[in-house]
Amino acid sequence: MKTVRLTAAEAIVRYLVAQRIEIDGVDQPLFPAAIGIFGHGNVVSLGHALERHREQIPVYRGQNEQGMGLAAAAFAKRMRRQQILLCTSSVGPGATNMVTAAGVAMSNRLPVLFIAGDTFSDRLPDPVLQQVEHFGAPSITVNDAFRPVVRFWDRITHPAQVITALPQAVGMMLDPAECGPAFIGLPQDTAAEAYDYPVRLFEPTIQRIARPRADSRQVAEAAALLRSAQRPLIIAGGGVHYSRAEAELSEFAARHGIPVVETVAGKSSLLASDPSYVGPLGVTGAAAANLAVADADVVLAVGTRLEDFTTGSWTVFDEAATIIGVNAARFDAQKHLSIPVVGDAAESLGDLSEALDGHLTSSMWQERTRGLRADLETFVASRTSDDGAWPPSYAQLVGAVHAQATSDDYVLTAAGGLPGELNINWLSKGVGTFDCEYGFSCMGYEISGAWGAALAHEANVAGRVFAMVGDGSYLMLNSDIYASVLSGHPFTLVVCDNSGYAVIERLQRGQGGNSYNNMLRDSVGSGAHVRVDFAAHARALGAEVFTPADLVELSAALEAAREIPRTTVIVLPVRESDWTEGGAFWQVGVPEVSDLESVQSARTVMDEGLLQQRRGV
């Protein structure tokens, strides 16, 4: 066997460079780039290896390790899990900063490869800089904190382990059922140690993502249920995007007359103009779509993990409705006593369509859901129209960005009030053009994620990335504005300032509590009157900045930003409490006992809502 003597770090980089993937018939790198912050735990060996291969896998300089991971997760989502970024940090706080980002990738089933430095395998210099010691378990390091938030975890304690660990990590990240982030801890001595590796480990390998077919008996059972249904309905989840099954979904829905609602992750599976589209469902969804779900007797849930914001804490479905779970992951396919169809979304929709050949849902049901879709359009128009007042509502702001957007543009947001506003009021103009991180609901994703989406935009699609962020999330994580300027991957950021964590204050007060520690005006401390100059801050990070004073100026700023080859930040105030109402119940922990009558009343309402909760497993 022919071998080559390399350090473990060099072997890892060479293996990653050798991995290719076929995308739409084109051979491309599976790992097109890395994002890194070098420290003593990774710069000497892994950093050296990455520098030697800087043309094949360039390393973009991160500003915060959490931001690096969030950017990589957004990149993977934009690329529909077909390409992966490497994120590397030093040992200690650099590593633990990435744990939150790993949680985002894990929750959203996205592939990101995290490699962090680790303490020495031989332990001779212990305790080393940034090491956290466990008296009774010396093999534990801070990198063990990744275990709950990754699909694959390993620590390379001997250079030979690269031969088995890397293929397993890559295979897991490309598995449609098991997809998620992978973590590798790389002790500093092991990274530098040499080994005679088989040359064939580094030969170019073209990866192809599998499309597992569902069992024919599962397909037949699901088809029989759909044939017998009077009011069938499809829920399109994020798995539709990851399967690249949008065209199959549209064709299936049209061929059999079955209306479609979308989850937050599945949004833009269909164009808003698609005749089968009814709207977004769930807590951040529209009342019209939730009415359609409540009426359905058979629900075909495609590629969704059915989280509580999608299901209204399992209250949006009729108790007697049958759920068919189409999912590459068995775990998701059989949730809440669903009838499982375990397989790829595109393949499964094709097999189901063949089994349903000639079947068409009743015209009465189709007419009913078309009416609900018309109700949604009327509602969105009323919410997004200019009422002449300033500052605008979130909905009006969404409407202004939507009016400027093209079918090639990509809109992104995350936690706070914006998910509900965008999920309802954004009518998708292009397929696969929407990202709302609401799996982990991570504040700070908006800016870092926009940078990651812009990295994906650069080589693959036209259009502009538009990110929308609240003032609270901006303050949590904003340094990737500079990262985008530094790397040359621009996006347009709209900063919505309502002077606090207003959506959580809405929940706080809506469940009977008093406003406390959410809005700046009632925060504890002597500086509660001080406000951040977001425009000056963004300008200091290298961005072009606009501060419109009305919706006309906002429209002009959005148009101008498109032509600016640098990240552009638009800062404006928004109304504190003008919210677009969702259409579903949401279970939260309202106190059973309180001296506030308003909390007691809220608990009564919560208990009444729980009576509608679907019981399942």
Q: pLDDT over 90 for what percent of the chain?
A: 95
Q: What is the pLDDT of residues 309-326, one digit of tens each?
A: 999 999 999 999 999 999
- Residue 49 and residue 133 in one domain: yes
Q: What is the phi/psi pair of residue 424, to 5°?
A: -85, -45
Average pLDDT, the chain: 96
Domain extent for 514: 386-573
For residue 339, which of 280, 311, 287, 299 has the smallest C-alpha distance? 299
Write the DSSP symbol of residue 45. I
Confidence of residue 458 (pLDDT cuts 50, 70, 90): low
For residue 490, which of 521, 461, 458 has the smallest C-alpha distance? 458
Residue 149: burial class (beta carbons within 10 Å; 0-12, 13-18, 19+)? buried
Taking residue 570's Cβ as centre, other Cβ atoms within 10 Å add up to 28
For residue 446, which of 404, 496, 402, 401 has the smallest C-alpha distance? 496
For residue 73, which of 446, 567, 566 has the smallest C-alpha distance? 446
Q: Which residue's structure tokens are 């997760």?
A: 73
157 and 187 Cβ atoms separated by less than 8 Å: yes
Residue 306 lies in a domain: yes
Q: What is 82-139 written as a DSSP string?
A: SS--EEEE-STHHHHHHHHHHHHHHHTT---EEEEEE--TT-TTPSPTTPPP-TT-TT
Instruction: Using the predicted structure, report yes or no on whether residue 433 has a pLDDT greater than 80.
Output: yes
* CA gap 250, 245 in Å, rounded: 9
CA terminus-to-terminus distance, the chain? 52
- Residue 234 and residue 303 in one domain: yes
Burial state string for 267-305 with b = 16 or more CB within 10 A and e = fewer than 16: bbbbbbebebbbbbbbbbbbbbbbbbbbbbbbbbbbbbb
- Find the largest Cα–Cα distance for the chain: 78
Instruction: Using the predicted structure, report yes or no on whether residue 617 has a pLDDT greater than 60.
Output: no
2 and 199 Cβ atoms separated by less than 8 Å: yes
C-alpha distances (whole Å) from 468 to each of 436, 493, 520 are 10, 6, 20
Instruction: Using the predicted structure, report yes or no on whether residue 422 has a pLDDT greater than 90.
Output: yes
Residue 592 lies in a domain: no
Write the DSSP symbol of residue 142. G
What is the pLDDT at residue 339? 97
Looking up residue 247, the CATH number of its domain turns out to be: 3.40.50.1220
Q: pLDDT over 70 for what percent of the chain?
A: 99
Residue 444 lies in a domain: yes
- Residue 346 and residue 363 in one domain: yes
How many structural domains does the chain have? 3
Q: What is 148-217 written as a DSSP string?
A: GG-SEEEE--SGGGHHHHHHHHHHHHT-TTT---EEEEEEHHHHH-EEEEEGGGGS-EEE----PPPPHH
- Residue 354 and residue 407 in one domain: no
C-alpha distances (whole Å) from 574 to each of 110, 418, 498, 544 are 32, 11, 5, 20
Q: What is the mean predicted confidence (pLDDT) over 559-582?
A: 95
Q: What is the pLDDT of residues 12-47, one digit of tens each?
A: 999 999 999 999 999 999 999 999 999 999 999 999
Give ∠ CA 320-321-327 in degrees, rounded to 5.
140
481 and 71 Cβ atoms separated by less than 8 Å: no
Among the candidates 354, 375, 396, a domain finishes at 375
Amino acid making up residue 213:
R
CA Rg value for the chain: 25
- Residue 242 and residue 128 in one domain: no
Residue 229: burial class (beta carbons within 10 Å; 0-12, 13-18, 19+)? buried
235 and 301 Cβ atoms separated by less than 8 Å: yes
* CA gap 237, 221 in Å, rounded: 21
As given in the structure block, the two tokens for residue 129 are 């800089």
User: Which residues lie closer than 8 Å to 131 by C-beta, 6 or more apart?
Assistant: 91, 92, 119, 141
Q: What is the mean predicted confidence (pLDDT) over 463-479?
A: 97
What is the pLDDT at residue 582? 85
What is the pLDDT at residue 536? 98
- Residue 340 and residue 476 in one domain: no
As given in the structure block, the two tokens for residue 319 are 């108790």
- Residue 467 and residue 510 in one domain: yes
Residue 246 lies in a domain: yes
Q: What is the mean predicted confidence (pLDDT) over 57-74?
A: 98
Q: Is 439 helix (H, G, I), strand (E, B) or coil?
A: coil
Distance of CA 215 to the CA centre of its chain: 30
* CA gap 571, 569 in Å, rounded: 6
418 and 470 Cβ atoms separated by less than 8 Å: yes
Instruction: Using the predicted structure, report yes or no on whether residue 583 has a pLDDT greater than 90.
Output: no
For residue 157, which of 210, 193, 203, 129 has the smallest C-alpha distance? 193
Instruction: Using the predicted structure, report yes or no on whether residue 78 has a pLDDT greater than 60.
Output: yes
- Residue 254 and residue 198 in one domain: no
Q: What is 258-311 written as a DSSP string?
A: --EEE-TTTTTSS-TT-TTEEEE-STTS-HHHHHHHHH-SEEEEES----HHHH
Q: What is the pLDDT of residues 526-548, one digit of tens each?
A: 998 999 999 999 999 999 999 99
Residue 581 lies in a domain: no
As given in the structure block, the two tokens for residue 211 are 């499309």
Q: Is 463 helix (H, G, I), strand (E, B) or coil?
A: coil
Amino acid making up residue 111:
P
Bond into 127 cis (ω within 30)? yes
For residue 425, which of 218, 299, 601, 581 has the smallest C-alpha distance? 581
User: Which residues lie closer than 8 Å to 202 by C-beta, 6 or more apart?
Assistant: 4, 11, 14, 15, 17, 18
Q: What is the pLDDT of residues 194-230, one digit of tens each?
A: 999 999 999 999 999 999 999 999 999 999 999 999 9
Residue 305 lies in a domain: yes
Instruction: Using the predicted structure, report yes or no on whether residue 461 has a pLDDT greater than 60.
Output: no
Instruction: Using the predicted structure, report yes or no on whether residue 448 has a pLDDT greater than 90.
Output: yes
Looking at the DSSP assignment, which residues form a beta bridge with residue 449? none
- Residue 136 and residue 221 in one domain: no
- Residue 145 and residue 117 in one domain: yes
* CA gap 4, 574 in Å, rounded: 61
Residue 609 lies in a domain: no
Helix, strand, coil % over all residues of the chain, rounded to 5: 40, 15, 40
384 and 396 Cβ atoms separated by less than 8 Å: yes
Looking up residue 120, the CATH number of its domain turns out to be: 3.40.50.970
Q: What is the pLDDT of residues 130-185, one digit of tens each?
A: 889 999 999 999 999 999 999 999 999 999 999 999 999 999 999 999 999 999 99
Q: What is the phi/psi pair of residue 374, to 5°?
A: -60, -40
Among the candidates 162, 181, 207, a domain finishes at 207
What is the pLDDT at residue 264? 97
pTM over cut 0.85? yes
- Residue 331 and residue 394 in one domain: no
Among the candidates 207, 236, 257, a domain finishes at 207
* CA gap 158, 216 in Å, rounded: 45
585 and 282 Cβ atoms separated by less than 8 Å: no
Residue 28 lies in a domain: yes
- Residue 196 and residue 277 in one domain: no
As given in the structure block, the two tokens for residue 526 are 């002597």
Looking at the DSSP assignment, which residues form a beta bridge with residue 329? none
